Amino acid sequence: MKITIQAPREGEEEEIIIRAGSISPHTFALIEALGGKSSGRLVGYVGECMEILQTELIFYFEAVDNRVFAYCDSEVYEVKQKLYEIEELLCNDNFFRASKSTVLNISKIKRIAPLFNGRFEALLKNGEKTVISRQYVSVLKQKLGI
Amino acid sequence: MNFLKSFIRNTAYITTGSLLVSAVMVTFFSGLDSIKSVILWQNLLLGLICGFVSALLFPENNMPKLESPLRHAVHFLLMTAIVMLCGYLFGWYYLSLPSVLLMLGSVAVVYAFVYFSTAMQYRDIANKINKELEERDDD
């Protein structure tokens, strides 16, 4: 692997660009070491393939049988982080804990409707529906500034 | 903590509904000019029991969506059974058909009161959130 270090021009921010056809485990480890997760991006796995996920394209994360999946418009990726780690990682973005097993992207919610006993059903922009538990409605309200 | 909040909220709604129905029953059906103060404690006790059972039956989390209608049916039957039992022990009605029917009607009225009060509260929350979501989308 060729490593090039260039001094930025005056006034320019320091930047690291990785030029790679696909992300190998070594490259991924390097991204993680450089704080790649904190840049608001996560790595999603589909079989053996890895892809850096753009969080703004993710509708929600769901924990199923101790595995966590990121649901985009039509693609589903497995992520290695636990749900609570994703919640912490993306707490400053549009994401919030919607139930014990889901973390939801507010910008992907079309509208919500009340269900029985304080729970709400969120209709997402891709037509999917997911439940917001009563205890997390206050988190959503807080995020929306209500 | 969530259980406690749920318990307090349910107790408040049920006690209010129960007091309203008691007031109507005493005023229009009992033929009495005054009531004993114990009826207020009986209402509160009934509210506490029903509030506790409701909080148990509707936990904050882990309530599968498909179970909701069945859970509500069970909840209504349980509430009816508790009120009928307590009402009988408190001497609120007699074992005659008109008296039992009146009591069952009262349970239905209180249940409907609590159900629609909470439904309106949640609809209001949903409207506020939807308005905010729409404004965000417009931006």
Least CA distance to B124: which residue of chain A?
Answer: A114
Of the candidates A100, A115, A140, which has its C-beta nearest B129's C-beta? A140
Mean pLDDT in residue range B17-46: 84
Distance, in Å, from the CA atom of B102 to the CA atom of B22, rounded to the nearest integer, reads: 12
Best B14, B61, B120 residue to mutate vs chain A (most A CBs within 10 Å): B61
Contacts of B128 in chain A (CB under 8 A): 141, 146
Both structure tokens of A81: 């982080």
Residues B57-116 have pLDDT tens digits of 776 555 555 466 787 788 889 999 999 999 999 988 888 998 899 889 988 988 888 888
Mutate to test the interface with A, among B79, B122, B123, B127 (most CBs of A within 10 A): B122
Order of strands across the sheet that contains A95-99: A49-54, A41-46, A76-79, A67-71, A60-64, A102-105, A95-99
Maximum distance among all alpha carbons in chain B?
A: 65
What are the structure tokens assigned to B105, written together?
Answer: 């009607």
pLDDT for residue B74: 86
- What value does the mean pLDDT take over residues B27-35? 75
Query: Where are chain B's structural domains?
Result: 2-138
Of the partner residues B71, B119, B133, the one whose CB lies closest to the CB of residue A114: B119
**What are chain A's domains?**
25-144 (2.40.50.1020)
Predicted confidence pLDDT, tens digits, chain A (146 residues): 788 888 888 888 888 888 877 667 677 777 767 765 545 568 888 887 888 888 889 999 999 999 999 999 888 999 988 999 999 888 878 899 999 899 999 999 999 998 866 789 999 999 999 999 888 898 899 989 88
Determine whether the interchain pair A115/B65 forms a contact, defined as Cβ–Cβ distance below 8 Å.
yes
A113 CB neighbours in chain B (<8 A) are 126
Token readout for B125 is: 């929350």
In terms of Cα–Cα distance, which of A106, A32, A105 is closest to A72?
A105
CB-based contacts of A129-133 (< 8 A; 24+ apart in sequence):
A130/A60, A130/A98, A130/A99, A130/A102, A130/A104, A131/A98, A131/A99, A131/A102, A131/B65, A132/A98, A132/A99, A132/A104, A133/A98, A133/A99, A133/A100, A133/B60, A133/B61
pLDDT of residue B56: 84
Q: How many CB pairs under 8 A join A and B?
A: 62
Q: Above 50 in pLDDT, residue B120? A: yes
Question: Predicted ipTM?
Answer: 0.72
Please answer yes or no on whether A107 and B130 come within 8 Å at the CB atom: no
Q: Kindly state the percentage of chain B with pLDDT values over 90.
A: 29
